[in-house]
């Protein structure tokens, strides 16, 4: 029987695909030892759903933010609204924010404007930021030169082991998930997982996205245990030790006691 405990460091349980069956999803996860869920908002329209989930379930740890795919046409008062949620939830992080040069046609300068305002909010309010980064490595480096929040997570990390080293020096944390359930994981991904310092490693499902069978299939946090087993194998550590380490890491990332 599984006795280890885990936190899904990045998911979107506010998504209607999850929300309609939230009790059974949480129940299946809990049976697999997943006891906490960092739920990331993506735009002003879903922040209230994130907040309601956090109010109803102490296991839900909220993040509020604007995803790079949602910046175009965003309501003008979004930052004021975001501040409101961050003040109301003093333990909340900022996410999912990010930069994406591949999977969206949204101009990079517009993405960067919205990203920078949230990034600066992270610095001002001392909140961790969770980042979606696809392709825009150079742009993130430029943002980092101007300062960074004290903790930020590169979720679903897709870079090289060398990039792990560079970002780790700049206070980055790294989480891995969905891509690992596709078999076999690429050599680059396995090497990146091995390169992450033990105190910066987190695990995630990105539910309901990143199901190994792709679109039309709903990922859920209960599958985090499979991801954990895969990461433990790749790093050559015991599942128990990985559980303790990643739980401790999550507490430090959110600066929360558990």
Contact set with Zn ion (CB under 5 A): 96, 206
204 in helix, strand or coil? coil
Number of Cβ within 10 Å of residue 168's Cβ equals 17
Report the candidate in 152, 156, 151, 165 with the shortest Cα–Cα distance to residue 194: 165
Instruction: Name which of 96 and 220 has its Cβ closer to Zn ion.
Output: 96
CB-based burial of residue 234 (10 Å sphere; 0-12 exposed, 13-18 middle, 19+ buried)?
A: middle
Instruction: Name which of 101 and 235 has its Cβ closer to Zn ion.
Output: 101
Smallest distance from Zn ion to CB 78, Å: 18
Smallest distance from Zn ion to CB 10, Å: 6
* Pairwise CA distance, residues 111 & 16, whole Å: 25
Report the candidate in 44, 155, 146, 46 with the shortest Cα–Cα distance to residue 99: 155
208 contact partners, CB below 8 Å, separation of at least 6: 11, 12, 15, 17, 18, 218, 219, 220
Instruction: Name which of 96 and 139 has its Cβ closer to Zn ion.
Output: 96
First to last CA, the chain: 23
Instruction: Name which of 60 and 232 has its Cβ closer to Zn ion.
Output: 60
Report the candidate in 162, 211, 160 with the shortest Cα–Cα distance to residue 189: 160
Smallest distance from Zn ion to CB 19, Å: 15
| Triad 101, 45, 78: Cα angle to 5° | 70
Instruction: Name which of 46 and 247 has its Cβ closer to Zn ion.
Output: 46
Instruction: Name which of 139 and 206 has its Cβ closer to Zn ion.
Output: 206
Long-range contacts of 146-150 (CB under 8 A, 24+ apart): 147/123, 148/119, 148/123, 149/94, 149/119, 149/122, 149/123, 150/123, 150/126
Smallest distance from Zn ion to CB 98, Å: 9
Instruction: Name which of 34 and 232 has its Cβ closer to Zn ion.
Output: 34
Smallest distance from Zn ion to CB 3, Å: 29
Smallest distance from Zn ion to CB 92, Å: 16
Residue nearest to Zn ion (CB): 206
Smallest distance from Zn ion to CB 206, Å: 5
């Amino acid at each position: 029987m599984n006795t280890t405990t885990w936190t899904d460091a990045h998911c979107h349980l506010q998504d209607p695909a999850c929300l309609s069956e939230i009790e059974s999803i949480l129940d299946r996860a809990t049976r697999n030892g997943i006891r906490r869920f960092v739920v990331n908002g993506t735009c002003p329209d879903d922040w209230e759903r994130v907040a309601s989930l956090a109010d109803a379930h102490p296991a839900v740890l909220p993040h509020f933010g604007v995803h790079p795919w949602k910046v175009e046409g965003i309501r003008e008062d979004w930052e004021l609204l975001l501040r409101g949620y961050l003040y109301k939830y003093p333990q909340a992080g900022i996410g999912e924010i990010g930069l994406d040069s591949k999977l969206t046609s949204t101009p990079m300068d517009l993405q960067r404007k919205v990203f920078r305002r949230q990034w600066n909010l992270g610095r001002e309010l001392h909140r961790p930021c969770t980042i979606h980064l696809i392709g825009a490595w150079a742009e993130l480096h430029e943002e980092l030169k101007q300062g960074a929040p004290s903790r930020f997570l590169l979720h679903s990390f897709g870079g090289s082991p060398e990039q792990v080293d560079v970002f780790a020096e700049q206070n980055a944390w790294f989480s891995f998930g969905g891509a690992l359930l596709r078999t076999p994981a690429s050599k680059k991904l396995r090497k990146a997982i091995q390169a992450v310092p033990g105190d910066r490693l987190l695990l995630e499902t990105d539910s309901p996205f990143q199901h190994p069978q792709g679109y039309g299939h709903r990922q859920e946090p209960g599958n985090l245990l499979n991801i954990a087993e895969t990461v433990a194998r790749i790093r050559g550590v015991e599942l128990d030790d990985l559980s303790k380490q990643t739980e401790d890491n999550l507490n430090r990332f959110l600066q929360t006691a558990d």
